Amino acid sequence: MEFTGYVFYIFSAILLLASLRVITASNPIHAALALVLAFFTAAGLWMLLEAEFLAITLVLVYIGAVLVLFLFVVMMLDINLEEIRKGFWGYLPAGALVGGLMVVEMFMVLGGKDFGLAEPVAHAADYSNTKELGRLLYTEYVYPFELAAVLLLVAMVAAIALTHRKRGDTKPLNPAEQVKVKKADRLRMVNLKPQKPEAPKGDDE
Amino acid sequence: MTFALPDLNPVLPEIFVLGMTCAILLIDALFKDRDLTYPLTLFTLVFAAAITVFTSVPQVQFTFGGQFVDDAMADVLKLMGYFATLAVVVYSRPYLVERGLYKVEFFALALFALLGMMVMISANHFLTLYIGLELLSLSLYALVALQRDSAQATEAAMKYFVLGALASGFLLYGMSLLYGITGTLELSVMAQLLQAGGQDQMVLAFGLVFLVAGLGFKLGVAPFHMWVPDIYQGAPSAVTLFIGSAPKLAAFAFTMRLLVDGLHPAVEYWQGMLAVMAVLSLAIGNLAAIMQTNIKRMLAYSTISHMGFLLLGIMSGTFAGYTAGMFYVIAYVLMSLGSFGLVVYLSRNGLEAENIDDFRGLNSRNPWLAALMAILMFSMAGLPPFVGFYAKLAILQSLVGAGFVWLAVVAVMFSLIGAFYYLRVVKVLYFDAPKPDAPVYPAIPDVQALLSINGLAVLMLGIMPQPLITLCTYAMQMTLQ
């Protein structure tokens, strides 16, 4: 076995263990951290497949942005673990039976042989995966690409529709109003006659 | 590196709808004038219909390298989709105004959902099929949750979202397996490759199970129907009206594209699965509907049974079956628009006309509305001379023609059971005394006019179904030539 073969098995083993931890960890923070590890090893596997762009995107977007956000949310929410784990043992036998059956079935049905996969050909050193992806995305796949952009727009509209509201108890700033303010709005000139201060009255006088 | 610019003519309706939706969002934000948003939405729908008619050609057109297909079936379904969305917008306006939901987001999300449906209807590629589906689903989740102060609506949205995500996962897994054995994502190419043979049949069947399960979720057929009643009941009635009507067209198109355009060579595999789902839906839908007291929930169960009927048409795997299915889905959308439209129309002055009790003695208060409701209920039950009768008849004929006599018998049996709860509504309308505080509804002219057209269309298409039958036959001929 070549060196990359060992790397593949090591990464795969870590990936499997990490994924298992994601669903078995009792603490949601640990689960999220295990997910970071799982993504990272998956990125390593993609790197082995010469999909550098995807691997780096996985690290940057999923680990860097999505999961950090995830951790924030998990830490801010007050999750009642007892409530979540309630009934776990009750459901376990049925779940394990169905899951086990599925695994056996999938093992029997799905194997590399069925997919006619050829050994991937290594590309030359000057081959740019990123460039190829970009070329495909903006030419052949421009239609789904644009639609994916529309999907993001919908997500934005939906998020604003569901969370934006006018609340009576907040005093938001309005920069447009702020910059338009004139001196006259804030400053009132009062003409005061000079006055003689009254002589202080004291008890000790 | 050369790249031929794709032919954008067939995609014009989609481009127009997308552009107008963005324009509506901007115009509303700029002018803060809701009275502009509503007519603009109507204009978008009417004009998109005009574009679809004028860019329509009899041939099947592919563009974007085979990811987009424009054929007669797509044109007819899109036209019906515009009409359904237009009816939803008109019917729900008073409802939305009264409940403070009359915001640009409702219109924008409805148009985005329509765009998703159009993409699905014209998809010839797993990617476009899936993205169209997500565009539709995401817009619908948001629409359900739009009424933020209603705990029921929020719960419904949550359920819809979680189950929808699960279904998407199923679909994607099935798609990835099929990609694995054929090496293509393009549906028409996949059909050719499968026709040529040589793939592992076991993996094909295995992938199909996941695809059909995902499809079942999205169609809302048993045993993947659990979400339907809860969401129909929990969502604001105007949104239920939308979910219950237009997306069914897209679901039909989705099934046709996936199973008939792409996987017809595997017909013997999916036929059995569809038959099981159809029979279960007919049984569960019709039996569970009998016990409902909430009309939205009752109509939800009736949807399940209708979708089962629709599946029977596609399941027969014949030209007659597909044509019957198309006729059925168009008829069903008309009936569903009318009946949910009436529920929305009667939900006024703080009253939600949600319970069947709220319809008691409607005849003595608003005889015309009661007559419309009765027409729709008769049609849903499949009584002649309404359009629902011909829809069911066409499906049964196609089943018998394809040799599935026992399935036809089962379908007729459950339709008879189903007739009970539809007729109960008619009895409530005409023979029960109204509740003492029941209101008499003053007419809202534009809404009532469209509702009347809708109801009379159900009657007229029942008396003269030939034009619609001819249209569906023509569309299918042109599509499956």
Residues in contact with B46: Cβ distance below 8 Å, sequence separation at least 6, in sequence order: B82, B86
What ipTM goes with this model?
Answer: 0.91
Decide: B346 and B360 in contact? Cβ < 8 Å: no
d(CA B244, CA B340): 8
Query: Same domain, yes or no, for A71 and A6?
Result: yes
- B 123-162 residues with CB < 8 A to A: 125, 127-128, 131-132, 134-135, 138-139, 141-142, 145-146, 148
Q: What integer pLDDT is reported at residue B102 of this predicted model?
A: 87
Task: Give the mean pLDDT of B398-413.
Answer: 93
State the pLDDT at residue A201.
65
Q: How many domains does chain A divide into? A: 2
The helix (run of H) or strand (run of E) holding residue B79 is helix B72-98
Q: How far apart are CA B328 and CA B271, in angstroms?
A: 19
User: Tell me: the pLDDT tens digits for B367-386?
Assistant: 999 999 999 999 999 988 89
Question: Is A121 inside any structural domain?
Answer: no
- A139 with A64, same domain: the answer is no
* Token duo for residue B69: 């297909």
Q: Report how far Cα A110 is from the mean position of its chain's Cα atoms.
A: 31
Domain that holds residue B130: 9-479
Give domain status of residue A107, yes or no: no
Judged against a pLDDT cut of 70, whether residue B57 lies above it is answered with: yes
The domain tally of chain B equals 1
Decide if pLDDT at B415 tops 60: yes
* pLDDT surpasses 90 at B182: no
A45 assigned to some structural domain: yes
Question: Is it the case that residue A167 has pLDDT exceeding 80?
Answer: no
* Chain A to chain B Cβ contacts (< 8 Å): 84
**Separation CA B421–CA B414 (nearest Å):** 12
* Closest CA–CA distance from residue B144 to any residue of chain A (Å): 10
In a domain, A51, yes or no: yes
Give me the pLDDT at residue B239, please: 94
- Judge whether B233 lies within some domain: yes
Whether B387 is in a domain gets the answer yes
Domain assignment of residue B2, yes or no: no
pLDDT at B472: 92
Pair (A67, A139) in one structural domain = no
For testing contact with chain A, the best of B16, B96, B135 (most A CBs within 10 A): B135
Q: Tell me: do A2 and A75 sit in the same domain.
A: yes
**CB of B464 within 8 A of CB of B322?**
no
Contacts of B33 (CB under 8 A, 6+ apart): none
Tokens of B275: 């038959």
Q: How far away is chain A from the Cα of B181, in angstroms, using its nearest Cα?
A: 5
**Using one digit for the tens of pLDDT, what is the confidence trace for A39-58?**
999 999 999 888 889 999 99
Query: Chain A residues with CB inside 8 Å of B142's CB?
Result: 154, 157-158, 161-162
CB contact under 8 A, B146 and A151: no
Examine residue B3 and state whether it is found in any structural domain, yes or no: no
**Quick check: A176 contacting B, CB < 8 Å?**
no
Query: B359 lies in a domain?
Result: yes
Supply A100's token pair.
């086990």
Q: SS3 for B99?
A: coil
Is-contact B366 B441, C-beta < 8 A? yes
User: What pTM was computed for the model?
Assistant: 0.90
User: Is residue A134, in this structure, part of any structural domain at all?
Assistant: yes
Task: Answer yes or no: is A183 within a domain.
Answer: no
> Which residues neighbour A166 within 8 Å (Cβ) at sequence distance 6 or greater?
none
- Write out pLDDT tens, residues B294-353: 999 999 999 999 999 999 999 998 999 999 999 999 999 999 999 999 999 998 887 888
Whether A37 is covered by a domain: the verdict is: yes
A1 shares its domain with A76: yes
CB atoms within 10 A of CB A92: 11
Within an 8 Å CB–CB cutoff, is residue A104 touching chain B? Answer: no
pLDDT for the residue numbered A168:
67
Instruction: Say which CATH number the domain at A10 has.
Output: 1.20.120.1200
Query: Which residue range is the domain that position A156 belongs to?
Result: 128-164
In the predicted model, what is the mean pLDDT of chain B? 91
Residue B355 lies in a domain: yes
Is the per-residue pLDDT at B399 higher than 90? yes
